[in-house]
Structure 1
Amino acid sequence: MVKSFDTSKNPASSPLTDTPTPPAQHIWLAGLGAMAKAQEQGTKAIEALVNDGLAFQRKSQAEAQQRLHEATERLTHMASDLGQQSVVRVDRLEHLFEERVAKALHRLGMPSMGDMQLLQARVDQLQEQLNQILQANGTDAPKSKAAPAKKQAAKSGLTASAKTKPQRAPVKSSRRAAD
């Protein structure tokens, strides 16, 4: 059932024709008015939405940057801890290796670094005593460590040529003679 509108009370009649406007035209005009209002307010609404979107984007980026910074700090701290732990483990392994090598060398009768240092200190002490004895007898002290060895060889009557081994004559190959 369609309602009829009383056009005498409706001020929306056309001024040119003074004829009443049908209800479909009222709906059409209402739609055009809504569209005009939407255009007018739509621009403002779109600008407001764009501004809200920009604010949200900035806030999101700031939050993401903050979380990235926190994650970077945590990972850096973890990497540092792992690096320190690995250094400690490598130091322990190195120490263990050195101990085992030292034990093996000791079993083979090899002197340790401490033994060599004690021996060098003893040699230096004996060299000093020899120098003092030689000075007391009125002879010159040797100037280098190689000099006492030469004097010892001279005292024992050995010359440099006597110390060297005699050279053997080359052995001829029997194979060459057969050819």
Structure 2
Amino acid sequence: MTKNIKELEQEEEELSQAVRSSAQQIWQAGLGAFAKAQQEGGREFTRLVRDGSELQKRARSVEDATDTVARKAERSSRRASSTWGKLEQVFEERVARALATIGVPARSEMEALNHRIDELERMLAELAGEHLRQAARKKPAAKAAAKKPAAKRTAPKRGAAE
């Protein structure tokens, strides 16, 4: 049942031979790949350079197109903002005319009225202050007149004349 030593040695030798053969094949495959890469490497390098040049040309054309689009977008944006400004001005003018037609006062008219009201309030305050000063001057004269004793009337006594 046990294998003898010769059989084990023989199996070991076969296994070793199979490993050597496999390693030899791997080495030869590597050398073949290296040789093929050297042969095709020059052609492959040339193809890669050509592909890179084409890609660079496409990238430049995309960059140029992007710059062109950006410039046109900027011009359009400026035109649009100018157009919106004009549209806003026309709208404001029409609204102001419509409000004036129905009798709504303009902002400038309201500001002038507010200014006039402030001026009138100031004048009223000055007049009220003047009136209070005059009233204060009249009060001491009224108090002096009130201090003079009034003539006493005496009523006849009862009982003395009877």
TM-score, normalised with respect to structure 1? 0.49
Which runs of no fewer than 5 residues in structure 1 stay unpaired?
Answer: 1-40, 140-179
Pairwise CA RMSD of aligned residues? 2.1
1:113 to 107, 110, 120: 107
State the partner residue of 1:71: 65
C-alpha displacement at 1:114, in angstroms?
1.0
2:131 to 129, 132, 137: 137
C-alpha displacement at 1:61, in angstroms?
2.1
Q: Over alpha carbons, which structure has the higher Rg?
A: 2
Query: Which residues in structure 2 correspond to 1:47-66 (within 5 Å)?
Result: 47-66=41-60
Once residues 97 and 50 of structure 1 are traced to their aligned partners in structure 2, the CA distance between those partners, rounded to angstroms, is: 68
C-alpha displacement at 1:127, in angstroms?
1.6
Once residues 126 and 91 of structure 1 are traced to their aligned partners in structure 2, the CA distance between those partners, rounded to angstroms, is: 40
- Deviation beyond 4 Å, 4+ runs, structure 1: 41-45
SS of 1:138's partner is helix
Which runs of no fewer than 5 residues in structure 2 stay unpaired?
Answer: 1-34, 134-162
C-alpha displacement at 1:92, in angstroms?
0.9
Residues 69-113 of structure 1, C-alpha deviations (whole Å, 9 max, x = no match):
221111111111111111111111111111111111112121111
| More helix per residue | 2
Residues 1:138 and 1:59: Cα distance change in structure 2 (over 3 Å) = farther
State the partner residue of 2:98: 104
Residues 113-133 of structure 1, C-alpha deviations (whole Å, 9 max, x = no match):
111111111111212222222
Once residues 52 and 129 of structure 2 are traced to their aligned partners in structure 1, the CA distance between those partners, rounded to angstroms, is: 92
Aligned residues: 99
Once residues 127 and 57 of structure 2 are traced to their aligned partners in structure 1, the CA distance between those partners, rounded to angstroms, is: 86
Once residues 45 and 71 of structure 1 are traced to their aligned partners in structure 2, the CA distance between those partners, rounded to angstroms, is: 41
Once residues 120 and 37 of structure 2 are traced to their aligned partners in structure 1, the CA distance between those partners, rounded to angstroms, is: 105
Task: State, as a whole percentage, how many aligned pairs show the same letter.
Answer: 22
Once residues 122 and 56 of structure 1 are traced to their aligned partners in structure 2, the CA distance between those partners, rounded to angstroms, is: 85
1:94 to 81, 84, 88: 88
Once residues 60 and 136 of structure 1 are traced to their aligned partners in structure 2, the CA distance between those partners, rounded to angstroms, is: 97
TM-score, normalised with respect to structure 2? 0.54
State the partner residue of 1:144: none
Residues 1:136 and 1:63: Cα distance change in structure 2 (over 3 Å) = farther
SS of 2:103's partner is coil
